[in-house]
Structure 1
């Protein structure tokens, strides 16, 4: 019996077990306090299994693993996944790092406050320079804090889903530092662009979202060994959404300056970080 590694999720473990099955490697899950240990009994296949395990950890969402679950998965339940609600909560928490989660919940808290009778107070404290009286450039936080305000539930949901999905990938794969830079730079500089285009009345995490999209895409193209990336179709969708923002088809005001600025920030940082990794 040879343990090749541990995974925190029963679902992830089952996906990997199904993939190994397609390679004629029998892998057995053993649930413990740390998650799921993966064990093989074929000594001659242990090294191959370890190699495949490392590949799986770097990019567990590859299409080949999903296909393996369809092709090789058993209809018999192999693992106890626990209650669906607990499984979703665990996936939400472990799929992101502390910065991703803190930013997520701060945006939710700000939106809740704005819809519980404190909209004027929140806006007066977090809006961009010039949006309210006596908001001058000495209040330096105002260059960033508009990113934390959202004016509709749809706007909040759209931004936070992308932030959790891609920001979480960046933080869990590469660490908090690159995500912190993206958050601060793309949450600030694009606000200046938006201000020059439309004035001070704007808000939302959209600029940062476009930054993490651009960063993840270019890292996947230029440094696939980093373990992050998105399909070209996702990038195409976001570019189409960006273009539609300049039309009246969406029926709502769009922070186009923040979108463009954030995308450029993400692409620039991704190009820089991928170059560092290739040295």
Structure 2
């Protein structure tokens, strides 16, 4: 019995198992605390299976894997994750990396504190320069920390769902570094844009969300083999939402400057990273 790799989701694991079945390689899924472990019993085919696993991990959305599920898949196959609640928690954790999850929970803690009687204290500590007396440019954290504050449940949920979904994709596929750059840069520069447009009273992760949207979309367009991407329909929705922010139709104040600034940061970094990866492969 040889483990050839692990995948975070049962659906992805089953797609790969179906593909190996077409190559006459029997692979068995084993549920672990970190996802699904893929095990091959025939040692003579282990190396081939490992090679195919690496190809699948780099681009799991290739047409051949989808076709394999149709040709070789079984409707009787089930993976037991225990209780449904445990399965959801496991998928939530394995679908993102440490930076994604830490940022997610910090935003939740900050929001909880603001709604448990500490709103003034939190705002005084985290708001942008000039929002409260005594907040000057020597307090450098204020360039970023407004991104951690949310002023309504809908605002928080909207931002954190996108952050977990796209930030998790970036971190699990490309590593923590590109996501950290996006978080820091898009959490600061767009805040400066927003400050110049409306003043210091703003907050939310929206600028960073638009950065990961732009980054994921352009990487999918320019470097699809990186394994991340965003459907054009999703990108269109986010652009429509951005435009609506300049009207009164949403019935709430929108940080349009942060949205635009974040989107430009994400597009620029995505263009740079996709170009850098292409040059690296050519050099090799």
TM-score, length basis structure 2: 0.87
Report what 2:224 is aligned to: 224
- What SS does the corresponding residue of 1:273 show, helix, strand or coil? helix
**DSSP-derived class of the 1:88 partner:** helix
| Residues 25 and 42, structure 1, Cα contact 8 Å, conserved in 2 | no
SS in 2 for 1:79: coil
- Specify the alignment match of 1:148 in structure 2: 148
1:25, CA displacement in angstroms? Answer: 4.3
What's the CA shift for 1:108?
A: 0.2
* Corresponding position: 1:111 with 2:120: no
- Distance in 2, matches of 1:62 and 1:161, equals 26
Q: How many residues align?
A: 277
Distance (Å, rounded) in 2 between the aligned partners of 1:102 and 1:195:
26
Instruction: Determine if the alignment matches structure 1 residue 259 to structure 2 residue 259.
Output: yes
1:2–1:43 contact (8 Å) kept in structure 2: no
Using the alignment, how far apart are the partners of 2:122 and 2:12 within structure 1?
A: 41
Deviation digits for residues 118-173 of structure 1 (CA, Å, limit 9, x no counterpart): 11111111111111111111111111110000011111011011111111111112
Task: Tell me whether 1:39 sits opposite 2:40 in the alignment.
Answer: yes
1:202-247 CA distances to partner (integer Å, 9 max, x unpaired)? 1000000000111111111112222211111111111111111111
Deviation, structure 1 residue 113: 0.3
Residue 42 (structure 1) shift: 11
**Map of 2:282 onto structure 1:** none
Counterpart CA distance in 1 for 2:163 and 2:62 is 20
- Say yes or no: does 1:273 pair with 2:269: no
CA deviation after TM superposition for structure 1 residue 17, in Å: 2.4
Aligned residue number for residue 237 of structure 2: 237
RMSD between superposed Cα atoms in Å: 2.7
Q: Distance in 2 between matches of 1:88 and 1:67?
A: 27
| 1:230 counterpart SS class | coil
Alignment of 1:143-182 (within 5 A): 143-182=143-182
In the aligned structure 2, how far is the partner of 1:196 from the partner of 1:213? Answer: 23
* Closer/same/farther in 2, CA of residues 44 and 93 from structure 1, 3 Å limit: closer
2:92 matched residue in structure 1 = 92
How does 1:30-69 map onto structure 2 within 5 Å?
A: 30-31=29-30, 35-39=36-40, 47=48, 50=50, 52-60=52-60, 69=69
* Native 8 Å contact 2:59 2:225 kept in 1: no
Query: For 1:148 and 1:95, how far apart are their aligned partners in 2?
Result: 21
Q: Is the 8 A contact 1:10 1:36 kept in 2?
A: no
Instruction: Verify the 8 A CA contact 2:15 2:68 in the aligned structure 1.
Output: yes
Query: Which stretch of structure 1 is more off in the superposition, 235-244 or 52-61?
Result: 52-61
Q: Contact conserved, 1:30 with 1:39, CA < 8 A, in 2?
A: no
Task: Indicate if the aligned counterparts of 2:4 and 2:46 stay in contact, CA closer than 8 A.
Answer: no
User: Unpaired runs of 5+ in structure 1?
Assistant: none
CA distance in 1, matches of 2:193, 2:29: 53
- Residue 28, structure 1, aligned to residue 27, structure 2: yes
Q: Distance in 2 between matches of 1:63 and 1:84?
A: 30
- Cα distance in 2 between the residues matched to 1:242 and 1:66: 34
Unaligned 5+ runs, structure 2: 280-284
TM-score (norm 1): 0.88
> How far did residue 7 of structure 1 move?
3.2
